[in-house]
């Protein structure tokens, strides 16, 4: 009997391996692996956990709009908002600055590192194993995001608009958008709002720059814009 079960076990193991998420889709091989196993420029010298730089299972920053969050938020007062004569989101777009932890939007999570004002190792709940914030290499002089294109700074007025509602009313005002109710292809809205994570998945490694949709031929843009 035992001899007959072994091939079955082997088949199950193979099946499990086949069904598992491929390694290439994981955060492990991205610049967001800030742990000692990361291969980017900004990595820790003593923290082996990956998720902890952004999430903690306990004692997270209290906020009903964000997933159990561990990275201390920026206190930046104002990032400004996008404006143009043809932009139809002006009535709902809100400045991401000046928020406290309870009102922060998903984009504030990205800005907690990408506005370049908060140290990458500044955690609400440092790991039990270390008992203190991790030590890092590759950061800017004060532990923050190093200078370069990933350091967006505190001006979002020259970036694609975020933190505004993309709903039936906006679609009616701008027919060159695709209907937000039938968006396909992987982009994502948060409580009906466009945020940084509408276009980026911070855990993504298949497409360059964490994009939810590969932008070859501007496929990402054409997911929402019917141009």
As measured in angstroms, the least distance from the Cβ of 35 to ligand HEC is: 9
Which listed range, 6-14, 57-65, 87-95, 124-132, lies at the site for ligand HEC (CB under 6 A)? 87-95
113 belongs to the binding site for ligand HEC (CB under 6 A): yes
Cα-based distances in Å from 139 to 110, 114, 125, 175, 188: 16, 12, 20, 44, 30
Binding mask 21-60 for ligand HEC (x = CB under 6 A): ------x---xx-x-----xxx-------xx-xxx-----
3-class secondary-structure state, position 206: coil
Could you tell me which of 165, 171, 168 has the C-alpha nearest to residue 190?
165
188-217: buried (b, 16+ CB within 10 Å) or exposed (e) per residue?
ebbeebbbbbbbbbbbbbebeebbbbebee
Tokens of 176: 């060159």
104 belongs to the binding site for ligand HEC (CB under 6 A): no
194 belongs to the binding site for ligand HEC (CB under 6 A): yes
Tokens 């890092």, residue? Answer: 136
Please, which residue, 7 or 85, has the CB nearer to ligand HEC?
Answer: 85
112 belongs to the binding site for ligand HEC (CB under 6 A): yes
Residue 5 to residue 54: CA distance in whole angstroms: 43
Residues whose CB is less than 8 angstroms from the CB of residue 189 and which lie 6 or more positions away in sequence, other chains included: 166, 180, 183, 195, 198
106 belongs to the binding site for ligand HEC (CB under 6 A): yes
81 belongs to the binding site for ligand HEC (CB under 6 A): no
Please, which residue, 15 or 218, has the CB nearer to ligand HEC?
Answer: 218
Contact predicate 48/38, CB 8 Å: no
Q: What residues line the site for ligand HEC (CB under 6 A)?
A: 27, 31-32, 34, 40-42, 50-51, 53-55, 67, 71, 84, 86-89, 106-107, 109-110, 112-114, 120, 145-146, 148-150, 152, 156, 160-162, 166, 170, 174, 177, 187, 194, 196-203, 208-211, 215, 220-221, 223-225
């Amino acid at each position: 009997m035992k001899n007959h079960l072994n091939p079955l076990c082997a088949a199950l193991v193979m099946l499990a391996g086949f069904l598992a998420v491929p390694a290439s889709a994981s955060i492990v091989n991205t610049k967001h692996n800030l742990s000692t196993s990361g291969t980017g420029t900004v990595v820790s010298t003593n923290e082996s956990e990956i998720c902890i730089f952004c999430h903690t299972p306990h004692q997270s920053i209290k906020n009903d709009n964000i997933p159990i969050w561990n990275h201390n938020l920026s206190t930046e007062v104002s990032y400004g908002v996008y404006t143009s004569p043809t932009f139809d989101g002006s009535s709902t777009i809100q400045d991401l600055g000046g928020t406290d932890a309870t009102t922060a939007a998903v984009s504030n999570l990205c800005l907690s590192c990408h506005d370049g004002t908060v140290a990458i190792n500044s955690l609400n709940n440092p790991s039990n194993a270390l008992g203190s914030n991790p030590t890092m290499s590759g950061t800017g002089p004060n532990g923050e995001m190093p200078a370069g294109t990933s350091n967006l700074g505190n001006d979002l007025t020259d970036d694609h608009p975020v933190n505004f509602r993309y709903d039936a009313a906006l679609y009616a005002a701008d027919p060159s958008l695709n209907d937000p109710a039938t968006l396909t292809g992987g982009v994502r809205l948060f409580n009906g709002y466009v945020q940084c994570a509408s276009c980026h998945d911070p855990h993504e490694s298949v497409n360059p720059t964490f994009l939810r949709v590969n932008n070859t031929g501007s496929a990402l843009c054409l997911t929402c814009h019917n141009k």
